[in-house]
Amino acid sequence: MPVDGVANCRFYVKIDGMTTAVFTEMSGLQVETVVTEYEEGGNNGFVHRLPGRTKVSNLTLKRGIVASNEFFNWYSEILQGKLKYRHVDVLVYDAEGKELAKWSFANAFPVKWIGPQLAADGKNAAIETLELAHEGLIPN
């Protein structure tokens, strides 16, 4: 039975259980384990390679500007010393609307906000970018 690829355009991002915005792009879904090498004295045939700490990348979310300024407000709370963690889910759907995959991120908080690039003769949508740090990927 042939397996078709999944289109990357059917996804939703939920923050604290609510789909608060339609994102046009999401990146940073990455987990990496650092490998530690240990050389054993008297054994020159190989080097032990052991798993070390696991690192997770920041999530980067992009969306068109909307009337609400909630993401900038969330980030500005950090500037005031008020850290507010939120739970983030990323869900991918097939063409029929069936959920295919879900990734959840614990204790996310904004570390970068980029406003739209504006031009008087612009023909593109105004896009804002939000970068989130988190404490790791939660198994679903």
Higher pLDDT, 27 or 70: 27
**Any domain includes 3:** no
**Any domain includes 42:** no
Residues 73 and 136: their CA atoms lie apart, in Å, by 24
**Any domain includes 44:** no
Q: What is the pLDDT of residue 116?
A: 84
Predicted confidence (pLDDT) per residue in 99-131, tens digit: 888 999 999 999 999 988 888 887 888 888 999
**Any domain includes 64:** yes
Predicted confidence (pLDDT) per residue in 40-51, tens digit: 888 888 899 999
**Any domain includes 51:** no
Alpha helices in the chain (DSSP H): 70-79
Range(s) of the domain holding residue 22: 11-30+57-138
What's this model's pTM, rounded to 2 decimal places? 0.80
**Any domain includes 46:** no
18 within 8 A of 89, measured Cβ to Cβ = no
What CATH number does the domain containing 73 carry? 2.30.110.20
Q: How many domains does the chain have?
A: 1
* Those residues with Cβ within 8 angstroms of residue 38's Cβ, 6 or more apart along the chain or in another chain: 47, 48, 49, 50
**Any domain includes 111:** yes
**Any domain includes 61:** yes
